[in-house]
Amino acid sequence: MLPFIRRCATRARDSAVASVPDMVPPMTPQRHPLTGWHRRLLDWLCAGREDYRAFQRRKATRVHRANQTICLVVWLVAALLLLFCGGPGCLLTLGLVATLICFGVLDPD
């Protein structure tokens, strides 16, 4: 009796598997709906702007990524200097200087 049940279950499973692609779309990996919402919002707001498209093209280059690395190093040095001088005046000064350097490095003009 057991082989009969196995055979029926196999037939039922095979027939169900054969009909599933017709009813249900194939499983695709689901992205988290909250991941990247800020990027999608910015893309939507800036759609059609030539300067935004130029920025996206420039951002994809090796030079821009190298400049981002330089900017990261500048901020790491500023953070290390803050360990020695942790006052509000030092925080403001180092933050403004690091920001100015990064804007200068990342700005193409």
Tens of pLDDT, residue by residue over 40-91, are 888 888 888 888 888 888 888 999 999 999 999 999 999 999 998 878 888 9
Query: Could you give the number of structural domains in the chain?
Result: 1
Domain, as residue range, for 91? 63-109
How far apart CA 5 and CA 2 sit, in angstroms, is 5
- Hey, what amino acid is at 72? L
Residue 82 lies in a domain: yes
* CA 11 to chain CA mean position, Å: 45
How far apart CA 71 and CA 101 sit, in angstroms, is 8
Residue 57 lies in a domain: no
Of residues 20 and 37, more confidence is placed in 37
Residue 33 lies in a domain: no
Share of the chain above pLDDT 70, in %: 69
Residue 14 lies in a domain: no
Q: What angle do CA 96, 71, 44 make, to 5 degrees?
A: 90
Residue 32 lies in a domain: no
pLDDT for res 108: 74
Report whether 94 contacts 52 (CB < 8 A).
no
pLDDT interval class at 20 (50, 70, 90):
very low
pLDDT for res 49: 87
Report whether 55 contacts 42 (CB < 8 A).
no
82 contact partners, CB below 8 Å, separation of at least 6: 90, 91, 94
The Cα-based distances of 105 to 9, 27, 45, 66, 97 in angstroms read 67, 44, 26, 10, 12
Answer whether 0.85 is exceeded by the pTM.
Answer: no
Residue 88 lies in a domain: yes
